[in-house]
Structure 1
């Protein structure tokens, strides 16, 4: 870190990444989503449980990623986001992905219909694909700030791969970090594929 240089805050990072994502042409976004799917066979194997998510808006990836996972023979769990009476994000519940069954949900999301599994069932997943605005090479993930994943990832298995899904230029050298941030073990990008992050080996 250079003395006297003020690093951008998380709020500034979020604004910059979201602005850049909105500028990505639709055809490039589609190509990147297809590229992400092509890396999945090297990340997961049949019989595993994988926690994934349904990309929304300008998030990297597409719903085709869920079908690609299912075709690889993995059990796909998707998040169900809810808040408490104070509007604070609760740990995510999980629902089994079945093609063609997703329903509209809060926050503009799509989720599986009930029944849902309790938050602690994330511990069954060997791989957790995590939405991110950016991730740094130390494993610090920049989310949207609602706290759903921070409160959920602490329940994951100690040996689970926690994989931030980002565009290639969203894998950066350094992001601001807070004590509650759960470090990612890997990044998944369209061109770079599955990238181990600091201290995770391979």
Structure 2
């Protein structure tokens, strides 16, 4: 089994052991940590996603950003695995789509809409000490990151993970892009210009 596939299987198995209460509590802390990030506190437009299953939860964070007046863009999966985008208008406006995903039911804004975001929350399974992210392998966000790079856009790239998913090393390919920060229930770790781990007291 290729190295990336093996690591994905191990991490997904670990997530599968989490209870609903584990996921709910982690989501509450993740929302508080993420909302305190300057990159999100100062953002006018944030591209994000709706967590499903035992993914680190984003629902509370999406609602809090929207309440702040932030324009939140959510992905809409296209037939070729690329991503369109639509505005988040609340949980009641989400519909179940393919692969068990939840997507907004509003107007599609086009794949280029992500270029308007000053921060992008990326789904992932792991991040390593260099900020390299391991995704699920579908390639959708590789296209998004390539689109951002091609347009010269440099939004803050942020991943929400569980603490055990910050690993020593993620297998890397030439098209992979490092992220700026990872948020876990235990704290925030930054990469690039601002290294280190910042842990806030539990509320």
Counterpart for residue 152 of structure 1: 144
Q: Is the 8 A contact 1:46 1:72 kept in 2?
A: no
Q: Secondary structure at the match of 1:135?
A: strand
Counterpart for residue 167 of structure 2: 172
Q: Secondary structure at the match of 1:129?
A: strand
Question: Which residue, 187, 190, 202 being the options, matches 2:182?
Answer: 187
Q: Is the 8 A contact 1:78 1:111 kept in 2?
A: yes
Unaligned runs of 5+ in 1: 1-7
> Residue 131 of structure 1: CA displacement?
0.7
CA separation in 1, counterparts of 2:136 and 2:35? 28
Counterpart for residue 31 of structure 2: 37
CA separation in 1, counterparts of 2:34 and 2:132? 22
CA separation in 1, counterparts of 2:24 and 2:171? 30
TM-score of the superposition, structure 2-length normalised? 0.87
Counterpart for residue 198 of structure 2: none
Are 1:70 and 2:66 counterparts? yes
> Residue 118 of structure 1: CA displacement?
1.3
> Residue 22 of structure 1: CA displacement?
0.5
Q: CA RMSD in A?
A: 1.6
Counterpart for residue 3 of structure 1: none
Unaligned runs of 5+ in 2: 196-203
Counterpart for residue 111 of structure 1: 103
Q: How many residue pairs end up in the alignment?
A: 188
TM-score of the superposition, structure 1-length normalised? 0.87
Counterpart for residue 24 of structure 1: 18
> Residue 27 of structure 1: CA displacement?
1.4
> Residue 47 of structure 1: CA displacement?
5.7
Moved over 3 A (4+): none
CA separation in 1, counterparts of 2:16 and 2:193? 32
Counterpart for residue 123 of structure 1: 115
CA separation in 1, counterparts of 2:193 and 2:4? 24
Question: Which residue, 45, 48, 69 being the options, matches 1:52?
Answer: 48
Counterpart for residue 76 of structure 2: 80
Q: Secondary structure at the match of 1:73?
A: coil
Counterpart for residue 84 of structure 2: 93
